[in-house]
Amino acid sequence: MMLKTKYQILALGMLIFGLFTHCKPLQSFQQPSLKALPESFQSKKDSTNDAVVNWKSYFTDETLIGLIDTALTNNIDLLMTLQKIEMAQQQLNFAKVLGKPFVSAGVSVGQKRFGKYTMDGVGNYDTNFSNNITDDQKIPEHLPDFNIGLQSSWEVDIWGKLRNKKMAAIARYLASVEGKNWIITNLISEISASYYSLIALDNELDIIKETRNLQLNQLQIIKAQKEAGYANELAVKQFESRILNTRSLEVEILQSIVEIENKINFLLARYPQPIYRDKLQFTKPLPTQIRMGIPTQLLRNRPDVKKAEYEVMAAKADVEAARLAFYPSLNINANLGFQTFNPAYVVSPQSIAYNLLGGLSAPVINRKGLNADFGMANAIQTEALYNYQKSIIGAYTEVYNEMSNIKNLNLIQDLKSQEVSILTESIVTSTDLFKTGRATYLEVLITQTNALQARIELINVKKQQYDAVVNIYKALGGGWR
């Protein structure tokens, strides 16, 4: 009879299991295909890549290196990102325990009384008249309950659902690390660009002061000519207005210097203070050749691309975990300890009790909710794939643009240098002619204005060249090593 009952229970269990799993497994949605990277940049193949160079070797200015070192220690955005990494680490630690038994210890004390007209009340009353129990086994009307023991629960990962959740947590942790690296890359780039902007403004300020001094000398000449009857008051006013204009340019540059200094101070997490820099750094030659490497190197050098890739991996694992949520779960629960209603036997071997239960469960009513989770996971994965594609195309385009920018800026600098040379000679010529009365004051003013504008433009071109050197290093994925 007992054997027949066991077979009936087994058959019932198999029937229920079959009902739970009769549905065809869900398949992931069709994902978009990714566009392949070109084999090279502008038909130029180079096996080496400057992105692998440490930033302290790429940027050689000791003052700039000191500023960057301070920022890498104190920058608030970077410190906040480190906390995000810590949060991702804790999520990973939580995911690591998934699929492992959970064991807890507990102590409980209670008391209860069953009514006389309940099954337990009648049964306990009848039991106390049994000849098979001793006096200390008799059940009191007010029944104490002492329980000391261990409780354990374990969801067995028979399909890999929990393993996929762990994989998703690992991928998100790695993505958070790459997010930190991308912030470092941007931080180094922003500080470097701001530092070179300061040096450029210092050089512009020198040119403006030099021009103002020249204008003051020429003002004295025009005043002397006026007294001698060779010039009029209009010429004097024109020179005075030009000097005031130059002075206003000087004030504007001084304000720009304050703002950029404080931008750097903010990145270094400190209050406003002067930034020491070597303006002669602007006269040093730029790198003549930058090694681009090949486009596929962007996939392992650019932190933003790697971050997007890890996000795709995490989303893919989430999709698989959501799909496996439709499968039955195997749960095992166990209890082991001492349980008694007589306090004299709390830790007695006769009070040892245990409970072991295993069961399969599968969703039946809430499948629509699981379908929604599965559909959302697929949508998130598709979005992550598009973001990954976007980051790859964006990285390639940035490198391509900066390569073209560097080439054209070199050409512009050559042309602008020739222009400055000619206009500088013109200032001397116009001044000499003006002294002898063979050139008008308007010709002198126009020549000075053109020369000043050209010299400032040449400095801006040099600044753009420094920006391009910084940007190409960032675009290639340099700075975080």
Least confident of 26-40, 152-166, 194-208, 451-465: 26-40
Percentages of the chain per state (helix, strand, coil), in multiples of 5: 65, 10, 25
Long-range contacts of 260-264 (CB under 8 A, 24+ apart): 260/194, 260/197, 260/198, 260/201, 261/198, 263/194, 264/67, 264/191, 264/194, 264/195, 264/198
pLDDT of residue 218: 85
Query: 142: pLDDT confidence band, cut at 50, 70 and 90?
Result: confident
Mean pLDDT value across residues 316-336: 90
Query: What pLDDT, in 10s, does the model give residues 374-403?
Result: 999 999 999 999 999 999 999 889 988 988
pLDDT of residue 4: 52
Residue closest to 257 by CA, chosen among 192, 210, 201:
201
Query: Which two three-digit tokens encode residue 255?
Result: 């304000």
pLDDT of residue 360: 80
Long-range contacts of 248-251 (CB under 8 A, 24+ apart): 249/208, 250/205, 250/208, 250/209, 250/212
pLDDT at 471 over 80: yes
pLDDT of residue 42: 61
| DSSP 3-state of 351 | helix
Query: Which two three-digit tokens encode residue 210?
Result: 């030099």
pLDDT at 329 over 60: yes
pLDDT of residue 274: 94
User: Please, are residues 35 and 159 in contact by the beta-carbon 8 Å criterion?
Assistant: no
pLDDT at 27 over 60: no
User: Please, are residues 351 and 338 in contact by the beta-carbon 8 Å criterion?
Assistant: yes
Mean pLDDT value across residues 206-227: 89
Angle of helix 76-96 relative to helix 62-74, nearest 10 degrees, comes to: 50
Sheet strand arrangement including 143-156: 102-112, 143-156, 329-340, 352-361
Query: What pLDDT, in 10s, does the model give residues 56-87?
Result: 888 888 999 999 999 999 999 999 999 999 99
Residue with tokens 């504008």: 453
This prediction's pTM: 0.81
Angle of helix 367-435 relative to helix 161-228, nearest 10 degrees, comes to: 20
Q: Give me the residue spans of the domains in the chain.
A: 25-98+159-327+367-475, 102-113+139-156+329-361
Query: What pLDDT, in 10s, does the model give residues 165-175?
Result: 999 999 999 99
Q: Are strands 143-156 and 329-340 parallel, antiparallel or unpaired?
A: antiparallel
Q: Which residues contact 381 (CB under 8 A, 6 or more apart)?
A: 28, 31, 312, 315, 316, 318, 319
The CATH number of the structural domain formed by 102-113+139-156+329-361 is 2.20.200.10
Handedness of CA 277, 282, 288, 292 (dihedral sign): positive
pLDDT of residue 95: 86
Average pLDDT, the chain: 85
- What is the C-alpha radius of gyration for the chain, rounded to an integer number of angstroms? 40
pLDDT of residue 229: 81
DSSP 275-298: ----GGGGGSPPPS---B--GGGH
pLDDT at 276 over 90: yes
Quickly name the fold that domain 25-98+159-327+367-475 has: Outer membrane efflux proteins (OEP) (1.20.1600)
